[in-house]
């Protein structure tokens, strides 16, 4: 209803009295009273905020007029404030049509009252908006102002009170914002290091006065929460790894919120705490736990929720960055492995480098590389690196394929990732590595073949990711290629080294002379060639086997010596070793028939697996045993055995050569002594006859120092008359003859002479040309004895013919006496003359016989060779046996052709044929035939003396020319006289004349002696070129 001005004044007075009461709330009653007094739609208190009015309180407010709205600059209230005067508008729609509030509410009545504050400055405006015009009288203005001022004061007080609460709220908000900014700034710096996240958590603890702040990561693969970072690093050791798996992240969060962490009661550890999820959308990263020093209220959540979001971003960024960094490190490692290991050609350098490089980049708890020993089907540790100080000492340790994670990977050829070893049946606990929680093993392959395994262990559970398998497998594949290359190179290097050692061994063998030197060479070469630090030589001796001591410790020497003694007793085992040749003995427990002491000593010497190579001579005689340890060989037994066999062949050749060389040295010393001190003179000449070397005997006999003999022609010491024969001797050797003999007379210093027989042989040199090696024998005394022997033989022949000669002389004397008697009785002169002539003829014949006997028996000594008529020689010999032929009724068949003369000694040749004729007469005894045939051939004369006697037994044919061999006299049957020297003299005389004598005989048929004499190129008198006897 509308009030009149008077009623409004009255109402204002009542309202003023009401508002003056103490303790009464002013603002709301004042606003309601004013609203009723003026029948207004809206009563609005507008307060200056900066340079613009802001609605602070309104009654009957519309939805579009809310507390705190700033009024437009063209509103009516802004004009009241600017002009500091009361506005009463009956037609506000027209006058203030630009005012959006007036236009919006379609009001016509408006009353604006300025309310000055302290200092007279207008701070507030009281506005009335009504549907009808507001008519205000002068009398109403003062009561209206008093009520308005009273309400304004109350409003100012309310505003101030409200501003204080807002300020407190703002301060709290500022603290939250500062914390959030600090966390945001700190979280923004979290890039690649968990320590940066730990600093951020420490900042949260300091700003919120909390006790601790922790971050746990959610592993969706393992369905577990794991500690990641904390404001206090002590919690890393205090919090155990959770053994429980959760079905979901929410279940894990609820469990943590309930204060359960493994076997640890989190509430007892932290007291009051708050656990918030670290999540962005559907992605669950982990849990943020804040340990509080006071109970956690609802408003704390409003602060921590944005902090948790910032931490989520920081943790995700850190995990992502660590993952990227991990992948980058893996790629760098792969690159380094691929680049660097290609240059390694030695497994001893390659494998430690790989584990060292991986450990340097990834810092794993423990790493090992195993290689497969195909011989024993075991895995062998080749390199190790990690926290275990004895990791490197595990090198060489063996593992069977049937056990362990590495064995399973080696068998299957597939990688195995175990993030919780307690749940893996194949895992084997190692006391030296008690903290192993995760293990990743990949096969090392090359060309589809498993070479070994690469094993990595971690002390953290869930330490490995699927990407790690790919990375490690890539490294293992690179290592497999490098191992193959290294093995090929090592094989090639070893082959080259072995060839070099074998070649050097062959060279050193050629140079080595002493047995000890060769044995040392064999041992040293075996250790280098066979890559074995342990090798023994058991040398065969007369009493058995003996250890060759060379670079052995006292203990090894004692054990080796005992082994030699035990093997010397085990003769059957030694024979078996020698018979089997080079063998590989790899299991002494299966060595059937081996004496127990032998196996015990072998094990003590480190030869539980060894190669045995017998060193035999070409004749199969045992020289030594070479024992080589097979403990550290990386080759197949077949390849190593072939190498042992090749080396053993060289070694046994070396050892046998050492023995032969030693024998040769001994023999050479004996030969040198024999050569230098031989009873005969030895000399070496060139083709022209110059002395190149001679022995000490020649030096003594000639009485001339060697240095004066060497370099001079040997002809300088030959008698001038014998030099043609000596030159002929050399000429024969420079021609077709390989051997030649001659007799020379030497003139010694002082004029003394010496008879010497010379036998020479031609030696053809590889480089061309030839030498002459001669043996000279002093036959001066021999020649004297031969002369005596020849004279004795003549006397023997004369004695043999004595009866015939006596009978012949009786005939001669009978004829002489008969014809002399007739001459005395016959008186006629003509008959006397005839008888006397017959006496003279018979006397001449007698004289001739006597002359022949005297000539034959004469000791002519050495004379010059002259031309000899062979027919005359034969007739003289035949004349001497004529009486014997007649006495025994033996027919003499004479077939002599005209033949040229030869050079020789007439009397010696007569002796030869006389001996042959006498032997023929003795062989026939009564009635038979002797044939003498002479013929000339192209370069020789041929003489045959054949008989029809008893013949010579076959077993005696080879002995008839031997001295003192005879089937007559005291040496034979005794029926015929004989000394056994006749045929020996015949043989020597014929050979001295350069001829040859052979015999053919058949018992009961007869015997034929064939003699051949060379025809001379010229008939010149000279000293004999051949010896007469000897």
pLDDT tens, position by position, 735-750: 878 888 888 888 888 8
Nearest to residue 909, comparing CAs of 948, 842, 863? 863
pLDDT for res 974: 43
What is the b/e burial string over 14-50, where b = at least 16 CB atoms within 10 angstroms of the residue's CB? ebbeebeeeeeebbebbbebbbebbbbbbbbbbbbee
* Residues paired with 443 in a beta bridge: 453
For residue 971, what pLDDT band results from cuts at 50, 70 and 90? Answer: very low
pLDDT for res 1026: 42
Over residues 1004-1022, mean pLDDT: 82
pLDDT for res 1001: 92
Over residues 521-538, mean pLDDT: 74
What are the E-state strand segments in 246-397? Answer: 260-261, 264-265, 272-280, 283-292, 366-373, 378-386
Over residues 122-129, mean pLDDT: 78
pLDDT tens, position by position, 621-656: 888 888 888 766 666 777 778 878 877 887 888 788
Residue 255 reports pLDDT greater than 90: no
CA atoms within 13 A on the CB side of 16: 15
How far lies 410's CA from each of 154, 367, 440, 893, in Å? 91, 16, 13, 109
**DSSP H or E run through 892:** strand 890-896
Nearest to residue 274, comparing CAs of 260, 248, 255, 295? 295
pLDDT for res 735: 80
Highest mean pLDDT among 70-79, 202-211, 428-437: 428-437
pLDDT tens, position by position, 878-911: 888 887 888 888 899 999 988 899 988 888 888 8
More confident residue, 962 or 713: 713
**Contact yes or no for 756/744 (Cβ under 8 A):** yes
Over residues 592-596, mean pLDDT: 82
pLDDT for res 847: 63
Over residues 954-972, mean pLDDT: 71
pLDDT for res 64: 43
Q: How far apart are CA 549 and CA 645, in angstroms?
A: 23
**Contact yes or no for 890/930 (Cβ under 8 A):** yes
More confident residue, 916 or 105: 916
Over residues 465-493, mean pLDDT: 82
pLDDT for res 860: 44
Q: How far apart are CA 333 and CA 327, in angstroms?
A: 9
For residue 946, what pLDDT band results from cuts at 50, 70 and 90? Answer: very high
pLDDT over 90, % of the chain: 8
pLDDT for res 931: 93
**Contact yes or no for 359/384 (Cβ under 8 A):** no
Q: How far apart are CA 248 and CA 923, in angstroms?
A: 138
Q: How far apart are CA 992 and CA 967, in angstroms?
A: 26
User: Mind listing the domains of the chain with CATH numbers?
Assistant: 5-166 (3.30.450.40), 190-326 (3.30.450.40), 345-492 (3.30.450.40), 519-672 (3.30.450.40), 677-778 (3.30.450.20), 783-1014 (3.30.565.10)
Nearest to residue 912, comparing CAs of 1029, 1003, 1021, 1002? 1029
Tokens for 521, please give them.
Answer: 């060479």
pLDDT tens, position by position, 753-784: 888 889 999 998 888 888 999 999 888 877 77
**Contact yes or no for 528/508 (Cβ under 8 A):** no
Find the range with the poorest average confidence among 45-49, 857-861, 983-987. 857-861
pLDDT over 70, % of the chain: 71
Tokens for 755, please give them.
Answer: 């008879």
Over residues 300-326, mean pLDDT: 72
Separate counts of helices (H) and strands (E) for the chain = 28, 34
For residue 192, what pLDDT band results from cuts at 50, 70 and 90? Answer: low
pLDDT for res 96: 66
Q: The whole model's pTM is what?
A: 0.39
Tokens for 975, please give them.
Answer: 């029926």
For residue 391, what pLDDT band results from cuts at 50, 70 and 90? Answer: very low
pLDDT for res 932: 93
pLDDT for res 97: 64
More confident residue, 236 or 917: 917
For residue 803, what pLDDT band results from cuts at 50, 70 and 90? Answer: very low
pLDDT tens, position by position, 264-290: 666 666 667 777 888 877 777 788 887
pLDDT tens, position by position, 835-851: 676 677 667 666 655 65
DSSP state of 1022: B
**Mean confidence (pLDDT) of the chain:** 77
Q: How far apart are CA 669 and CA 48, in angstroms?
A: 140
**Contact yes or no for 231/205 (Cβ under 8 A):** yes
Nearest to residue 214, comparing CAs of 276, 134, 262? 276
pLDDT tens, position by position, 129-140: 777 777 777 777
pLDDT for res 944: 94
Highest mean pLDDT among 183-187, 368-372, 421-425, 467-471: 368-372
**Contact yes or no for 190/196 (Cβ under 8 A):** yes
Nearest to residue 797, comparing CAs of 710, 724, 884? 884
Residue 934 reports pLDDT greater than 90: yes
Please state the separation of Cα 66 from the chain's center in Å.
96
pLDDT for res 453: 93
More confident residue, 848 or 474: 474
């Amino acid at each position: 209803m509308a009030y009149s001005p008077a009623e409004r004044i009255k109402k204002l007075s009542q309202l003023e009295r009401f508002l003056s009461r103490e303790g009464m709330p002013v603002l709301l009653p004042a606003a309601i009273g004013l609203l009723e007094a003026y029948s207004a739609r809206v009563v609005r208190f507008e307060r200056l905020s900066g340079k613009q009015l802001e609605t602070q309180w309104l009654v009957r407010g519309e939805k579009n007029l809310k507390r705190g709205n700033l009024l437009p600059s063209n509103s009516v209230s802004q004009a009241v404030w600017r002009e500091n005067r009361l506005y009463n508008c009956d037609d506000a729609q027209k006058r203030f049509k630009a005012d959006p509030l007036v236009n919006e509410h379609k009001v016509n009545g408006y009353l604006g009252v300025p309310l000055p504050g302290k200092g007279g400055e207008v701070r507030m405006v009281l506005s009335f908006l009504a549907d009808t015009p507001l008519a205000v009288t002068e009398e109403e203005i003062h009561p209206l102002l008093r009520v308005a001022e009273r309400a304004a004061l109350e409003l100012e007080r309310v505003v101030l009170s409200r501003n204080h609460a807002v300020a407190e709220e703002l301060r709290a908000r500022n603290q939250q914002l500062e914390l959030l900014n600090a966390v945001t700034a700190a979280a923004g710096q979290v890039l690649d290091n968990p320590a940066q996240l730990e600093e951020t958590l420490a900042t949260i603890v300091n700003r919120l006065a909390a006790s601790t702040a922790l971050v746990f990561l959610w592993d969706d693969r393992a369905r577990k929460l794991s500690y990641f970072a904390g404001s206090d690093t002590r919690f890393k050791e205090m919090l155990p790894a959770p053994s429980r798996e959760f079905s979901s992240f929410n279940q894990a969060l609820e469990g943590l919120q309930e204060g359960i962490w493994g076997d640890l009661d989190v509430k007892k550890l932290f007291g009051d705490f708050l656990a918030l999820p670290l999540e962005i959308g559907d992605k669950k990263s982990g849990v943020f736990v804040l340990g509080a020093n006071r109970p956690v209220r609802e408003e704390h959540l409003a602060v921590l929720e944005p902090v948790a979001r910032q931490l989520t971003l920081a943790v995700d960024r850190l995990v992502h960055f660590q993952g990227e960094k991990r992948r980058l490190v893996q790629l760098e490692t792969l690159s380094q492995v691929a680049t660097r290991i290609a240059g390694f050609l030695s497994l001893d350098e390659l494998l430690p480098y790989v584990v060292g490089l991986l450990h340097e980049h990834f810092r794993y708890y423990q790493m090992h590389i195993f290689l497969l020993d195909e011989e024993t089907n075991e895995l062998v540790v080749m390199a190790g690196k990690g926290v275990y100080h004895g990791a490197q000492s595990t090198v060489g340790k063996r593992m069977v394929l049937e056990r362990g994670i590495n064995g399973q990977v080696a068998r299957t050829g597939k990688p195995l990732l175990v993030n919780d070893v307690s749940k893996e049946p194949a895992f084997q606990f190692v006391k030296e590595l008690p903290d192993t929680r995760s293990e990743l093993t990949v096969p090392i392959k090359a060309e589809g073949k498993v070479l070994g395994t690469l094993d990595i262990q971690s002390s953290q559970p869930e330490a490995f990711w699927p990407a790690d398998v790919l990375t490690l497998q890539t490294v293992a594949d690179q290592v497999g290629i490098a191992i193959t290359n290294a093995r090929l190179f090592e094989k090639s290097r070893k082959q080259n080294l072995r060839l070099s050692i074998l070649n050097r061994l062959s060279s050193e063998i050629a140079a080595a002379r002493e047995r000890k030197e060769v044995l040392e060479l064999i041992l040293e070469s075996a250790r280098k060639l066979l890559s074995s630090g342990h090798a023994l030589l058991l040398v065969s001796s007369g009493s058995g086997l003996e250890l060759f001591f060379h670079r052995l410790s006292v203990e090894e020497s004692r054990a080796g010596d005992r082994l030699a003694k035990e093997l010397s007793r085990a003769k059957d085992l030694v024979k078996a070793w020698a018979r089997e040749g080079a063998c590989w003995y790899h299991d002494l427990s299966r060595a059937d028939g081996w004496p127990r002491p032998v196996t015990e000593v072998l094990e003590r010497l480190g030869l539980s697996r060894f190669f045995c190579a017998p060193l035999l001579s070409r004749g199969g005689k045992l020289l030594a045993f070479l024992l080589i340890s097979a403990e550290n060989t990386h080759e197949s037994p077949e390849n190593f055995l072939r190498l042992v066999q090749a080396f053993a062949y060289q070694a046994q050749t070396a050892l046998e050569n050492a023995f032969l060389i030693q024998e040769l040295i001994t023999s050479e010393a004996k030969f040198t002594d024999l050569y230098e001190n031989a009873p005969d003179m030895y000399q070496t000449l060139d083709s022209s006859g110059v002395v190149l070397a001679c022995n000490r005997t020649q030096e003594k006999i000639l009485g001339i120092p060697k240095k004066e003999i060497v370099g001079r022609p040997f002809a300088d010491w030959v008698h001038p008359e014998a030099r043609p024969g000596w030159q002929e001797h050399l000429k024969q050797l420079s021609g077709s003859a390989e051997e030649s003999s001659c007799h020379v007379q030497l003139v010694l210093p002082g004029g003394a002479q010496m008879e010497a027989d010379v036998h020479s042989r031609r030696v053809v040199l590889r480089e061309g040309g030839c030498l002459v090696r001669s043996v000279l024998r002093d036959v001066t005394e021999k020649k004297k004895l031969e002369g005596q022997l020849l004279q004795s033989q003549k006397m023997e022949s004369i004695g043999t013919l004595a009866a015939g000669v006596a009978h012949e002389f009786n005939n001669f004397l009978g004829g002489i006496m008969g014809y002399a008697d007739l001459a005395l009785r016959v008186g006629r002169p003509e008959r006397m003359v005839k008888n006397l002539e017959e006496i003279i003829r018979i006397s001449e014949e007698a004289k001739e016989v006597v002359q022949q006997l005297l000539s034959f028996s004469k000791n002519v000594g050495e004379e010059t060779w002259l031309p000899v008529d062979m027919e005359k020689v034969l007739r003289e010999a035949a004349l001497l046996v004529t009486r014997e032929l007649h006495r025994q009724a033996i027919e003499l068949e004479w077939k002599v052709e005209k033949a040229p003369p030869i050079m020789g000694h007439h009397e010696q040749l007569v002796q030869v044929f006389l001996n042959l004729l006498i032997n023929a007469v003795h062989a026939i005894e009564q009635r038979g035939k002797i044939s003498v045939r002479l013929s000339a051939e192209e370069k020789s004369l041929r003489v045959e003396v054949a008989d029809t006697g008893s013949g010579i037994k076959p077993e005696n044919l080879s002995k008839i020319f031997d001295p003192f061999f005879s089937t007559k006299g005291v040496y034979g049957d005794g029926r015929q006289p004989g000394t056994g020297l006749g045929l020996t003299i015949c043989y020597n005389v014929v050979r001295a004349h350069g001829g040859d004598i052979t015999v053919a005989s058949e018992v009961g048929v007869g015997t034929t002696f064939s003699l051949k004499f060379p025809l001379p190129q010229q008939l010149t008198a000279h000293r004999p070129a051949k010896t007469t006897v000897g």
